[in-house]
Amino acid sequence: MSDRTEISTLGEFGLIDHLTKNIEIQNASSIVGVGDDAAVIDHFGKQTVITNDLLVEGVHFDLMYTPLKHLGYKTVVVNVSDIYAMNATPTQIILGLAFSNRFSLEALDEFYEGVYAACEEYGVDLIGGDTTSSQKGFIISCTAIGEVAPDKYTKRSGAQKGDLLCVSGDLGAAFLGLTLLEREKRIFQESPGVQPDLEGEKYIVGRILKPEARKDITAFFAEAEITPTSMIDVSDGLSSEILHICKQSEVGCVLYEEKIPIAEESRQAAFKFNLDPTACALSGGEDYELLFTIKQDDYDKLKDHPEISVIGYITDEEAGAQIYTKGGSKHPITAQGWNAFNG
- Torsion angles phi and psi, residue 72, rounded to 5: -65, -45
Q: 233 with 146: CB under 8 angstroms?
A: no
- Residue 59, interface with a second copy (CB under 8 A)? yes
Binding mask 13-32 vs a second copy (x if CB under 8 A, - otherwise)? x-x---------------xx
DSSP H or E segment with residue 108: helix 105-122
Residues 167-206 that bind a second copy (CB under 8 A): none
- Residue 54, interface with a second copy (CB under 8 A)? yes
Closest CB to a second copy among 85 and 282? 85
DSSP 10-36: THHHHHHHHHHTT-----TTEEE-TTS
Closest CB to a second copy among 40 and 194? 40
- Residue 39, interface with a second copy (CB under 8 A)? yes
Among 248, 256, 275, 319, binds a second copy (CB under 8 A): 248
Binding mask 63-92 vs a second copy (x if CB under 8 A, - otherwise)? -------------------xx-xx-x---x
Q: 287 with 234: CB under 8 angstroms?
A: yes
Residues near a second copy (CB under 8 A), total:
76
Residues 122-161 that bind a second copy (CB under 8 A): 127-130, 132-137, 139, 141, 143-146, 148, 150, 153, 155-157
Residues 6+ apart with CB under 8 A from 286: 174, 175, 178, 207, 208, 211, 235, 338
- Residue 7, interface with a second copy (CB under 8 A)? yes
Residues 98-117 that bind a second copy (CB under 8 A): 98, 101
Q: 18 with 117: CB under 8 angstroms?
A: no
| Spatial separation of the C-alpha atoms in residues 331 and 39, rounded to whole Å | 49
- Residue 49, interface with a second copy (CB under 8 A)? yes
Q: Which stretch binds a second copy (CB under 8 A): 39-47, 174-182, 196-204, 311-319?
A: 39-47
Q: 260 with 312: CB under 8 angstroms?
A: no
